[in-house]
C-alpha cells in the first residue's frame, strides 16, 4: 500500500460529523457572548412592559366595576360619607336591590326586558345577516364587489351617533318613532360583523368543500346553511357577543328615538334616574344599584361564550 492509498484510507475512516464539504473538520462558530446577553437583556424587559400594560388595561376596566359593587352595598348617607372604594358602616345590598326593582312602580324590570329584547333579537338577526353577507362577499365574484366591500369598511368607520339624527327624521316620516322598531331596525346592521365574517369565511370555508356540495346537487342556500355555517360557528358566536354588548350599552339611539318611559332600555332608564338626583338624593343609590344589575347579564354572557370567542379569533388568525 503506497502513501496515497494510506492517506485515502485515513480520510475515509475519519468520523463524518467532523469533516466539512472539503473534507476538513469544520471550525467551531465564534461565540462572543453578545447574542446571549442581548436575549437575556431583552426578554425580562419586554415581559415587564407587556405585563405592566396589561395590568393597567385590566385596572382601567375593573376599577369602575369594583366601585359599583362596593357602593351598591351602601346606604345613601354612607355613599357620601365613606370612602368610595371600601364598604360603609351598613351593608344593605339586598335592601338596595329590592328598592331598585320596586321603584317607580317596578319600572326597572320592564327596562331590563326591553334591553333583552333589543339586544337579543337585534344581535341574533344582525349576526345572521352579517354572516350571510360576509360569506357572499368572500366566496362569490360579482360586479361591484369591491365597491360593496368599500362601503362596508366605510360603515365600520362611521360612529352610531353620527347616524342617529338622520335615522330619527327617516323613522319619523314613516311613523315608527317611539316604538320598538325604532331601536330594533338600526340594530340589525353590523358593518363590523360583516367585515369579520367575510375575513373568517375566506379562511375557514374551503372552495373545495363548496364545489363538492355543488356536485352532490346542493343549492347555494343549502351550501351556506349546511356546509358553510357550521364552519363559521366561532365567528358567529364572536359577532353575537360583540353585537349584544353594543346594543345593550347603546344610549344615543334610544335617547333620540324613544319618548315613552316604558320602552326605555336600562341605559336610558338609569340616566333618567340620575337626572333626578339633584332634587331626590336617594336616586343616587337607585342608579348605583341599577348599574350593578345591568352588568350581571353581560358578565354571564361573556363567561359563557368566552371559549367560543377566543377560539374563534385564534382559529381565524391561524387559518388566515
The pLDDT value recorded for residue 302 is 83
For helices 233-248 and 191-204, give the axis angle rounded to 10 degrees: 170
Alpha-carbon distance of 152 to 189, in angstroms, equals: 11
Which candidate, 299, 300, 285, places its Cα nearest to that of 93? 285
Cell 368599500 sits on residue: 150
Alpha-carbon distance of 69 to 53, in angstroms, equals: 25
Neighbours of 193 (CB within 10 A): 28
Neighbours of 48 (CB within 10 A): 10
The pLDDT value recorded for residue 282 is 84
Alpha-carbon distance of 205 to 320, in angstroms, equals: 11
**Domain spans of the chain?**
93-319
DSSP-derived 3-state class of residue 162: helix
Neighbours of 47 (CB within 10 A): 10
Alpha carbon 233 to chain centroid, angstroms: 15
The pLDDT value recorded for residue 45 is 87
Which candidate, 237, 235, 257, 233, places its Cα nearest to that of 245? 237
Assigned CATH for 93-319: 1.10.3720.10
Q: Would you give per-residue pLDDT tens digits along the chain (320 residues)?
A: 444 444 444 444 444 444 444 445 555 445 444 444 444 445 788 889 999 999 999 999 899 999 999 999 998 888 888 888 888 888 889 999 999 999 988 999 999 999 999 999 999 999 999 999 999 999 998 898 889 888 888 888 888 888 899 999 999 999 999 999 999 999 999 999 999 999 999 989 999 999 999 999 989 999 999 999 999 988 999 899 999 999 999 999 999 999 999 999 999 999 999 998 888 888 898 999 999 999 999 988 888 877 766 555 555 444 44
CA distances in angstroms from 2 to 8, 63, 292, listed in the order given: 10, 88, 97
Cell of 214: 355543488
User: Could you tell me if 121 and 186 are in contact, meaning their C-beta atoms sit under 8 angstroms apart?
Assistant: no
Amino acid at each position: 500500500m503506497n502513501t496515497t492509498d494510506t492517506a485515502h484510507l485515513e480520510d475515509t475512516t475519519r468520523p463524518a460529523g467532523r469533516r466539512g464539504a472539503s473534507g476538513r473538520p469544520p471550525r467551531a462558530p465564534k461565540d462572543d457572548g453578545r447574542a446571549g446577553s442581548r436575549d437575556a437583556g431583552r426578554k425580562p424587559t419586554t415581559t415587564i412592559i407587556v405585563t405592566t400594560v396589561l395590568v393597567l388595561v385590566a385596572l382601567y376596566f375593573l376599577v369602575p366595576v369594583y366601585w359599583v359593587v362596593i357602593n351598591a352595598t351602601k346606604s345613601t348617607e354612607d355613599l357620601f360619607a365613606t370612602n368610595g372604594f371600601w364598604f360603609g358602616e351598613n351593608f344593605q345590598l339586598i335592601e338596595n336591590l329590592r328598592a331598585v326593582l320596586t321603584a317607580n312602580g317596578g319600572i326597572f324590570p320592564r327596562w331590563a326586558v326591553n334591553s333583552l329584547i333589543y339586544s337579543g333579537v337585534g344581535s341574533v338577526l344582525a349576526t345572521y345577516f352579517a354572516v350571510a353577507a360576509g360569506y357572499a362577499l368572500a366566496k362569490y365574484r360579482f360586479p361591484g364587489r369591491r365597491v360593496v366591500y368599500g362601503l362596508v369598511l366605510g360603515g365600520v368607520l362611521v360612529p352610531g351617533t353620527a347616524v342617529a339624527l338622520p335615522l330619527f327624521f327617516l323613522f319619523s316620516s314613516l311613523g315608527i318613532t317611539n316604538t320598538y322598531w325604532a331601536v330594533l331596525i338600526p340594530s340589525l346592521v353590523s358593518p363590523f360583523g360583516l367585515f369579520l365574517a367575510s375575513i373568517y369565511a375566506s379562511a375557514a370555508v374551503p372552495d373545495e368543500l363548496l364545489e363538492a356540495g355543488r356536485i352532490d346537487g346542493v343549492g347555494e342556500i343549502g351550501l351556506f346553511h349546511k356546509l358553510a355555517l357550521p364552519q363559521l360557528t366561532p365567528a358567529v358566536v364572536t359577532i353575537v357577543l360583540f353585537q349584544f354588548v353594543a346594543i345593550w350599552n347603546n344610549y344615543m339611539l334610544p335617547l333620540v328615538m324613544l319618548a315613552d318611559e316604558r320602552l326605555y332600555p336600562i341605559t336610558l332608564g338609569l340616566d333618567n334616574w340620575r337626572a333626578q338626583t339633584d332634587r331626590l338624593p336617594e336616586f343616587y343609590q337607585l342608579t348605583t344599584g341599577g348599574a350593578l344589575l345591568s352588568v350581571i347579564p353581560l358578565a354571564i354572557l361573556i363567561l359563557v361564550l368566552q371559549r367560543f370567542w377566543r377560539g374563534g379569533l385564534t382559529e381565524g388568525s391561524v387559518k388566515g
